[in-house]
A and B are shown apart, each in its own frame.
Chain A
Amino acid sequence: MTAALVEKKDSAPGNAPRPSSPPPFSARRPKRERAFDDVPRWQIYVPLGIYLLFTLIPFYWMLLFAVRPAGSTSLVPWPMTGEHFSKVWNERSFAVFFQNSMIVGVATLIATTLVALAGGYALARFDFKIKGGFMLALLCSQFIPGALMLVPLFEIFKNLQLINSLVSVVIAETVFQLPLSIILISGFIKNVPVTLEEAAWVDGCSRFKAFCAVVLPLLRPGLIAVGSFAFVHSWNHFLFALMFLSEQDKQTIPVGLNTLIGADSVDLGALAAGGVIAAVPVVIVFAFIQKWLITGFSAGAVKG
């Protein structure tokens, strides 16, 4: 990896295609240089540039609508205005939605990580009778459409008197995050050699203490991947909040956005500002975890 990087540094600086670069099958090129990794630069930058435009124009569009004054058709966000933000934040109660979404997101993150950590540890480190059945249940639950469980879930929460309480949404989000989280975390734990733990036991640690001192620090990338997943999902998810929270001051951001979409005459500026408010936390989380995400997946998911 690093070797390739260093090697690249020598040949990479000119992003123009090297004039002498022959077609891939040609034998004229020295063999060392024909590693898979070694692609003409334009074959990287041109498609990537096109894809970047596809990715970024929509974001730009939202930002543009959020900051330019109502009625303007300028494609340059200048002069800027905060009118849409203050309107959405104050009049459309996005301040309340934001707070509710935060509570749901953080609570789901904590609950999912703790429960999945326990379950994942059991799957990774023990053989027990119902292990196969438990794994099968985890996998099968992936096929159950969340949207289709709304009615029975609604009745359960009604019986538990949790309708209009954020607790209902936290429980529902946690439950639907759990299967994948457990599978991911057990994958990460399997990658930590058992001998490390055993060594700590010999030193007199209890299983729990050994886990906290030895395994947990090594799980950091995995936990960040799983936790951020749980946060982002519950922050974004719409249906449970829509169904279980009927009072407006209990609603979350996606539901707030949907009411803006559904308004008879759509206020595009307000909609865009609401979108920006909805995007900020997840984008921050994403920027923070981005580099762990890929290692997290490669360690946990794919090796299963």
Chain B
Amino acid sequence: MAQSAAVATPPPKAKKPEQKAPKRRTASPRRLPYLLIAPAGLLMLGFIAYPVISVFYYSLQNYNVTKPWRNGFAGLDNFTRIFTEDDQFWSTLGFSAQWVFTQVTLQLALGLALALIVNQTFIGRGISRALVFSPWAVSGVLTSTIWILLYNSSTGFSRYLADAGIGDYGTSVLSDTGTVFWAATVTELWRGVPFFAILILADLQSVSKELYEAAAVDGAGRFRQFFHITLPHLRDAIILATLLRGVWEFNNVDLLYTLTGGGPAGETTTLPLYVANTGIEGHDFGYASALTTVAFVILLFCSIVYLRLSKFGGDHK
């Protein structure tokens, strides 16, 4: 209905006799965008920018609730402590790297496979999609809850396997340093793969069918179609998804905090978990802030390097 009018009179103010409405539209675009981003901007200034700046500020301070007499400006003391004295920093950083790398590669591989499968047309596709994506909706704590029930040594899955003659009762896989990494990895995959699959599936839908048909006519088999059409098309989505996911896996503490508590013996403590322990349980806010700053810089550096190396948004199409 509105469209026909637009065609009739393209310039907005040509027809309307009363000035008010057009004037508001032509005059406001100066200030309107600022007004529109004001709520978001103010919230982010107050609750992201300001806290970030205070983290940087605290990182230069001795700020420990339990030792208030020592509080004050510390210069770079916290940072020299991190890099020269703190073995735990290096070990948690190493575990973080291992954790992020394992999660992102496995989630990408499985998520891509899953997306390709449920992108096919087959009977029961809708319900299958809903079911395999459902762990997406589940939180870190709930995921931990479920898998704690599964991993429980006396009533969990292993007990039934042992009863059936596979494996033995043993201890819980979560308290064994040899198995805890893979136990936690499988748990996080359960929740992480659907997210990846959803993102990739979303992008798969926009590949035009004609491309495949043309390729098929030219005699390209399924694998060549995959490597020459599907993968290049998914490129940017995959780069972005792996980056965001990597950052998220690095930063997230919900799952490991509730599943293993960072244990056994600090075996599954990521850097953010270490920071949370230092700052919140250890009350050493200054040192925790310095660790935060270091984590932030590492993350930013890795992200920039990753985007450069992967040539994100490059002209590949």
The docked-state distance in angstroms from the alpha carbon of A237 to that of B21 is: 45
B contact residues around A91 at 8 Å (CB): none
The docked-state distance in angstroms from the alpha carbon of A131 to that of B132 is: 39
Choice from A116, A140, A148, A235 contacting B40 with Cβ under 8 Å: A116
Chain B 185-224 near chain A by CB (<8 Å), digits 1 or 0: 0000010001000110111011001001101110101110
Instruction: For the complex, count residues of B whose C-beta is within 8 A of A.
Output: 122
Contacts A58-B146, A198-B12, A283-B137: A141 and B296 contacting too (C-beta < 8 A)? no
B6 CB, min distance to chain A CBs, angstroms: 3
The docked-state distance in angstroms from the alpha carbon of A217 to that of B139 is: 31
The docked-state distance in angstroms from the alpha carbon of A155 to that of B253 is: 21
Interface residues of B in 252-279 (CB under 8 A from A): 252-254, 257-258, 272-273, 275-276, 279
Residue contact B149 to A238, C-beta cutoff 8 Å: no
> Does A297 reach chain B (CB closer than 8 Å)?
yes
> Does A48 reach chain B (CB closer than 8 Å)?
yes
Interface size class of A (residues with CB under 8 A): 35 or more
Residue contact A204 to B21, C-beta cutoff 8 Å: yes
Contacts A141-B44, A298-B202: A55 and B122 contacting too (C-beta < 8 A)? no
Residue contact A31 to B202, C-beta cutoff 8 Å: no
Contacts A34-B216, A134-B41, A148-B295: A258 and B6 contacting too (C-beta < 8 A)? no
Query: DSSP majority for the A interface?
Result: helix
Contacts A52-B132, A65-B149: A15 and B15 contacting too (C-beta < 8 A)? no
> Does B43 reach chain A (CB closer than 8 Å)?
yes
Choice from B142, B148, B152, B240 contacting A236 with Cβ under 8 Å: B142
B contact residues around A52 at 8 Å (CB): 128, 131-132
> Does A69 reach chain B (CB closer than 8 Å)?
no
A contact residues around B162 at 8 Å (CB): none
The docked-state distance in angstroms from the alpha carbon of A296 to that of B54 is: 36
The docked-state distance in angstroms from the alpha carbon of A118 to that of B43 is: 13
- A interface with B by C-beta (< 8 Å): 1, 4-5, 8, 12-13, 15, 24-25, 27, 31-32, 34-37, 39, 41, 44-45, 47-48, 51-52, 54-59, 61-62, 65, 73, 75, 114-116, 118-119, 121-123, 125-126, 128, 130-131, 134, 137, 140-153, 155-156, 171-172, 174-176, 178-179, 182, 195-196, 198-207, 214, 232, 235-239, 243, 254, 257-258, 260-261, 266, 268, 271-272, 274-275, 278-279, 282-283, 285-287, 290-291, 293-298, 301-302, 304
